[in-house]
Structure 1
Amino acid sequence: MTSSHRVTRYVSVAALAALITGFQYGFTLAIIAGAEPFLADQFQLSTWQLGLVVSNLSLGAAVGSLLAGPLSDRLGRRKVLVATALVFLVSAVLSAAANNISILLVSRSLAGLAVGAAMIIPLYVAEISPAKSRGLLVSLVQIGIVTGILAAFCTGWKAADLGSESWRWMFGMGVPSALLMLVATFVLPESPRWLITRGNTQEAMRVLAPVMGESEASNELRTIEEAVKRESARWQDLFHRKIRWALITGLVLAVLSVTVGINAVILYGPAILMRGAGEDVSTALRGAVVLGCVNFAFSLLAMLTIDKLGRKPLLLCGLAGMGISMLVLWFRLSDSTLPASSGLLAPILSFVAFYAVSLGPIIWVIVSEIFPTKIRGAGMAMCMVIMYVADFAVTFAFPLMMERLGNGVFYVFAGICIAGILFILPFVPETKGKSLEEIETMWSR
Structure 2
Amino acid sequence: MNSYKRNAFTYATIVAFGGFVFGLDAAVISGTVKFITEEFSLNPMQLGIVVGSPSIGVLLALFFAGSACDKFGRRQTLKIIAFLYVISAVGATFSPSYWSLVATRFLGGLAFSSISVASMYIGEIAPPKWRGKLVSMTQINIVLGLSAAYFVNYLILSYANSDAAWVNDLGLKQNVWRWMLGSEIVPAVAWLVALFFIPRSPAWLLYNGKTEEAKRTLSKIYPKEEVGVIYDEMQTSMSSETQDRSLVAQLKEIFSKKMRVILIIATTIAIAQQSTGINAILFYAPTVFEQLGGGSDAAFMQSIWVGLTSVVFTILGLVLVDRLGRRPLIIWGMAWIIISLGICFYGFQTARYTLTEKAITELSTIKNVERLTPIAGVEYGSDIAFKKALEDNLGEVDARNYESVLIQKAAAINSILILVGILSFIAAFHFSVGPVMWVLFSEIFPNSIRGIAIPFFTLITSVVSMLVQVFFPKQLATMGISYTLLFYAITVAIGLVILYRYLVETKNMTIEEIQLKLQSK
Structure 1-normalised TM-score? 0.89
> Match for residue 424 of structure 2?
350
Going from structure 1 to structure 2, the CA distance change for 1:226 and 1:419 (only over 3 Å counts) comes to closer
> Match for residue 291 of structure 2?
275
> Match for residue 252 of structure 2?
236
Tell me the amino acid that sits aligned with residue 400 of structure 1: K
Relative contact order (alpha carbons < 8 A, sep ≥ 6): 1 or 2 greater? 2
> Match for residue 198 of structure 1?
208
Higher Rg: 2
Shift of 1:391: 0.9
Going from structure 1 to structure 2, the CA distance change for 1:36 and 1:65 (only over 3 Å counts) comes to same
> Match for residue 317 of structure 2?
302
SS in 2 for 1:199: coil
> Match for residue 383 of structure 1?
457
Task: Say whether 1:173 aligns with 2:183.
Answer: yes
SS in 1 for 2:321: helix
Structure 1 window deviating more from structure 2 (121-130 vs 68-77): it is: 121-130
Query: Residues 60-102 of structure 1: CA distance to partner in whole angstroms, max 9, x if unpaired?
Result: 1222233222112111222211111111100000010111111
What is the aligned length? Answer: 441
- Relative to total residues, which structure has the larger helix share, 1 or 2? 1
Q: Find 1:403's aligned residue among 448, 453, 477.
A: 477
Judge conservation of contact 1:18–1:144 (CA < 8 Å) in 2. no
Judge conservation of contact 2:345–2:486 (CA < 8 Å) in 1. yes
> Match for residue 467 of structure 2?
393
Shift of 1:219: 5.9
Going from structure 1 to structure 2, the CA distance change for 1:214 and 1:442 (only over 3 Å counts) comes to closer
Output the CA distance in 2 between the equivalents of 1:89 and 1:41: 26
Q: Flag structure 1 segments of 5+ consecutive residues without an equivalent.
A: none
Shift of 1:254: 0.6
Output the CA distance in 2 between the equivalents of 1:367 and 1:86: 25
Tell me the amino acid that sits aligned with residue 303 of structure 2: A
Q: Flag structure 2 segments of 5+ consecutive residues without an equivalent.
A: 161-172, 353-410
Going from structure 1 to structure 2, the CA distance change for 1:139 and 1:393 (only over 3 Å counts) comes to closer
Judge conservation of contact 2:128–2:508 (CA < 8 Å) in 1. no
Judge conservation of contact 2:351–2:414 (CA < 8 Å) in 1. no
Output the CA distance in 1 between the equivalents of 2:291 and 2:326: 36
Structure 1 window deviating more from structure 2 (163-172 vs 223-232): it is: 223-232
SS in 2 for 1:167: helix
Output the CA distance in 1 between the equivalents of 2:174 and 2:38: 8
Shift of 1:223: 4.8
Shift of 1:388: 0.3
Structure 1 window deviating more from structure 2 (270-279 vs 367-376): it is: 367-376
Shift of 1:394: 1.3
Identity %: 31
Q: Find 1:64's aligned residue among 50, 61, 66.
A: 61
Shift of 1:135: 5.1
Query: Residues 198-222 of structure 1: CA distance to partner in whole angstroms, max 9, x if unpaired?
Result: 3333444554556668776566555
Output the CA distance in 1 between the equivalents of 2:450 and 2:439: 12
Output the CA distance in 2 between the equivalents of 1:215 and 1:104: 54
Tell me the amino acid that sits aligned with residue 380 of structure 1: I
Shift of 1:33: 1.3
Output the CA distance in 2 between the equivalents of 1:110 and 1:45: 21
Output the CA distance in 2 between the equivalents of 1:156 and 1:136: 30
Match runs of 1:28-427 below 5 Å: 28-128=25-125, 136-161=133-158, 162=160, 163-209=173-219, 221=231, 223-232=233-242, 234-280=250-296, 282-337=297-352, 339-340=412-413, 342-343=415-416, 344-407=418-481, 408-427=483-502
Output the CA distance in 1 between the equivalents of 2:78 and 2:288: 35
SS in 2 for 1:308: coil
Judge conservation of contact 2:443–2:514 (CA < 8 Å) in 1. no
Structure 2-normalised TM-score? 0.77
Query: Residues 362-389 of structure 1: CA distance to partner in whole angstroms, max 9, x if unpaired?
Result: 2233344444443344332221101101
Going from structure 1 to structure 2, the CA distance change for 1:155 and 1:40 (only over 3 Å counts) comes to same
Judge conservation of contact 1:371–1:440 (CA < 8 Å) in 2. no
Output the CA distance in 1 between the equivalents of 2:498 and 2:129: 36
SS in 1 for 2:322: helix
Going from structure 1 to structure 2, the CA distance change for 1:336 and 1:99 (only over 3 Å counts) comes to same
SS in 2 for 1:178: helix
SS in 2 for 1:120: helix
Structure 1 window deviating more from structure 2 (202-211 vs 229-238): it is: 202-211
Structure 1 window deviating more from structure 2 (173-182 vs 230-239): it is: 230-239
